Chains A and B, each alone.
Chain A
Amino acid sequence: MHKRPDRVTLYDVSSSAGMIKDDANPLRHGQRMSRSPAPCVMVIFGGSGDLTRRKLVPALYRLSQRRSLPGGFTILSLSRTDLGEEKYRDGLRRSLVESGTTPEASTWETFSQGIHYLSGDYRVPATYERIKRALSEYDLERGTAGNRIFYLAASPSDYAGIIQNLGAADLGWKRAEAAGWTRIVVEKPFGRDLESARALNKVVEGHFHEDQVYRIDHYLGKETVQNLLVLRFGNGIFEPIWNRQYVDSVQITAAENIGVGTRGTYYEEAGALRDMIQNHILQLLTLVAMEPPADFAPNSVRDEKVKVLRSIPPPPAEAVEQIAVRGQYGSGFIAGKPAVAYRQEKHVSPQSSTETYAAIRLTIDNWRWAGVPFYVRTGKNLAKQATEIAIVFRRAPHQIFRQTAAEEIASNVLALRIQPDEGIALKFVAKQPGQSMNFQPVNMEFQYGSTFGMHLASAYERLLVDCMVGDPTLFNRADSVEAAWALVQPFVDAWSGPGAASIVTYASGSWGPPEADRLLDRERRRWRLL
């Protein structure tokens, strides 16, 4: 007899994806869909890594605290580091505290009982035999019923090898017909250019069906990002004006006020383009620009998103410098504190030409968005931490206030704040009280914090549960990843080739290089000051 689960778990064992898909069962009609996942094992490759300690385990712990994890949920962490199980658990507990969560004794005890650690070399087939044995044991001891999630949180260069070894050990699609389900979560970066992304997709396809693959982009798990879909498609007032007739331009900003910290080695290889634009920012852009899907089924949403990416023409090589700016932070002051230049950071080459800032002007060649520029920018060591999508509307067609002091009336802006201060603001002009016809832009605000009051769950909490219940809506499909790489490839080529122009430097604590301002100046627009 399996161990007694500690909560109701309702799932359809007849479906390979583990989801209740078939609504032809009349007794399923109108049932409140439970997001209670089935018991499962999460095998984490890169178990001692930063991502596991700082994001995954804290998210899983908080889910456990909220009783959102299935009974019998088990973690099997793998890493090359030789650690004992107890030492590993203690380390995770410390990481939890460092991440700001003080574990409650009883919750931690229950949660940690399900954490196991295996040290081994990912490149050696014998490691996978050990994994198989451990998984069989958990099925019996913890009632995980053959349900597995393989989470690739290791170094991206190990991904292909791990996937091939999983396949060779019959832990991929070949066991999909057996009891339970198998899913694989692949962390970004998914490839480092179009060619490598295609190659990795090929490896994945060889061992897993596409519906088993969850390419994670944690931005999509943020409440505010999901709310973008609700704002657009759950309200009647926005969609009619969400097009070229009413929208002047769109700005997407993902600014950080911190540098690369200890991630110099990774960042030297990635840069802002690969780290932020190819994935997070393009994903935000697709949600802003996509057509309404027929329904909220995973593939309906993902089909529309990929259509957007395919409608953005990649620029010819010679046009890159006109529509894009890259920069690297120099020294400066951020909020009054001195900050070192990128080239002085740990594990960064003193001659590095890696971009820590990128701004690009994109256009979408379709009926809805023809002629509307989408300006995207991201950077490190900027003045503030702020991620925002701003829809800038066209001005009123006829200015009746031309003879007044209020000739320059600001555009209306719908600003969707992703983080911090999650919320939505609509900017419009109002008359200042008094005898004169003076106008002032004012904001109508919605703030998550003061409306709902609750602490927003982390993106990883949401996405981990999505994966456990088999909902891939917020994960990237192979075609979407490749379309995004195809779009940024001209920028990758232009910025990394031997003929690449030298990178401009911006002061830490500023809003990026002046060249980025000029990108908009020449179109009589300005970046929003956040």
Chain B
Amino acid sequence: MDSSETIANLGTPMGVDLDAMMRELNAFHTATPEHAGEIPAIRACSCNLIIIVSDRNEAETLPPVLADVAEWHPCRSLVAFRQPALTTGQTPMQAWIRVQCRPQPGAGPQVCSEVITLAVSPEAAGGLPNTLLSFLMPDLPVFLYWRSAKDTEWELVRDLARAAGMLIVDLQTSLGHVGEVRSMLPLQEHLPQGVALRDLSWQRLTPWRDLIAQFFDSRPARSLLQELDIVEIRASESPGESIPYPALLLAGWLISSLGWSEISAGREGTTWISRRRNASGEVQLRLPVADSGPAGVGVLAVSLTTRSGASFSVVFDPESECMTASAASAEETLIHEVPLPAKGEAEMLIAELSLPGEDTVFRGASSAAAALEKSFH
């Protein structure tokens, strides 16, 4: 967060009173600077962002992320979590407001966005969806970010999704909570009609998809896609999963994009192998079980070989944060090195909010990944 940002915590946690809170916010936004030199502030809002988190600790890590998101997508953020420890005598729902203002370049006014945090006792959890809906800025897009992705919050998320145009999850980081990939992959099928599902893990795969696609951009190379013989995707360990989720998703993308139908699936030693059929024969899709290396990094290497002997690979070196793409044929080897710096949560959210609507390629990849995972069990 910029050191020159102003943050106003408007009051301490209090029982939820929508009118009082809106009055408080309006008073803040309409207040004129009291002292000479103070920069006036304007309220900006182009969307609503609801974030479901596990607990207060997680909620408290969010303001810097939301401040960065608000710079690109000024929004009213609503952060909600269950708090079993609300004591007797306290209201079952508590809320507090935070206003984050960021100066603009030049002499313009500060641009302010607000974050409303709601803590709810387990008994009152059923009322949370409607309470959150009452806090939305009217007639603006609603994005729902299920940050914690815990099974126990599914009902709440499903209810809120009805009002949202998009549900954002990060399965790569949250799968540890649920233990099984298969319970999360068909998420799209359980969402109300018209709600786009986005997964930050998919965004992390964008550079991989770009580099792999790049091998086949030129017309002569395009035909090699039909000649693929073996594709191997290696990924780092994912907590609780024998098949790392990012590898599964990338495999799902290849399957759905290239239309590979299933022949058989199984495990040979430490590698999951799916035999697939493409236009010219059989493709072996290999997903080695991650057994060493850094955990949680995601995809580490992809190699593709063709029946005619051409080979392509993309390898990520976590230490230098660089990807090396190599294309080798009988005549020559081309090497292309590009950096892959880790993206922050805010940067990824900004990218997702910038692209409204359903990502049909992700949907196809996600469904194919779910089917692939199922075929191994």
Interface residue ranges, A against B (CB under 8 Å):
1-2, 4-10, 12, 14-15, 20, 22, 24-32, 34, 71, 100-101, 449-455
Contact = CB atoms under 8 A, between A and B. Distances in A.
A61 to B, nearest CB: 13
Contacts of A20: 217
Given A5-B338, A7-B339, A22 B42 contact: no
Interface in B315-369: 322-323, 337-341, 351, 355, 359-362
Q: Chain B's interface: helix, strand, loop or mixed, by majority?
A: mixed
A449 B42 contact: yes
B70 interface: yes
Given A27-B209, A451-B44, A452-B46, 18 more contacts: A5-B338, A8-B323, A10-B338, A20-B217, A22-B219, A25-B225, A27-B216, A27-B225, A31-B206, A31-B213, A451-B74, A453-B42, A453-B44, A453-B46, A453-B74, A454-B111, A455-B104, A455-B106
A12 B217 contact: yes
B257 interface: yes
B43 interface: yes
A111 B341 CA distance: 19
A455 B105 contact: yes
Contacts of A31: 206, 209-210, 213, 361
15 contacts: A2-B337, A4-B322, A4-B337, A5-B339, A12-B218, A14-B217, A22-B219, A25-B225, A27-B213, A28-B213, A32-B355, A451-B45, A451-B46, A452-B46, A453-B74
A281 B111 CA distance: 32
Given A8-B207, A8-B339, A26 B322 contact: no
B305 interface: no
Contacts of B258: 26-27
Given A22-B219, A27-B225, A455-B105, A8 B257 contact: no
B267 interface: no
A452 B217 contact: no
From A2, A100, A101, A450, residue with most partner B Cβ within 10 Å: A450
B212 A8 contact: no
B338 A9 contact: yes
The 9 closest A-B pairs by CB, nearest first: A30-B361, A453-B44, A27-B213, A453-B111, A14-B218, A453-B74, A10-B210, A12-B217, A26-B257
B361 A29 contact: yes
From A4, A25, A29, residue with most partner B Cβ within 10 Å: A25
Interface size band for B: 35 or more
Contacts of A22: 217, 219
B317 to A, nearest CB: 12
B338 A450 contact: no
B340 A8 contact: yes
Contacts of B270: none
Contact of A29 (B46, B72, B257, B339): B257
Given A14-B218, A30-B361, A453-B113, A25 B213 contact: yes
From B322, B338, B340, residue with most partner A Cβ within 10 Å: B338
B217 A450 contact: no
B362 to A, nearest CB: 8
Contacts of A28: 213, 217
Contacts of A8: 207, 210, 323, 338-340
From A27, A31, A455, residue with most partner B Cβ within 10 Å: A27
A4 B339 contact: yes
Contacts of B216: 25, 27
Contact of B71 (A14, A101, A450, A454): A454
A29 B105 CA distance: 38
Nearest to B337: A4
B217 to A, nearest CB: 5
A4 B336 CA distance: 10
B240 interface: no
B108 interface: yes
Contacts of A26: 225, 257-258
Contacts of B46: 451-453
B191 interface: no
Contacts of A29: 257, 361
B222 interface: yes
B257 to A, nearest CB: 5
Contact of B44 (A7, A15, A30, A450): A450
Nearest to B219: A22
B214 interface: yes
B163 interface: no
Contacts of A453: 42, 44, 46, 70-71, 74, 102, 104, 111, 113
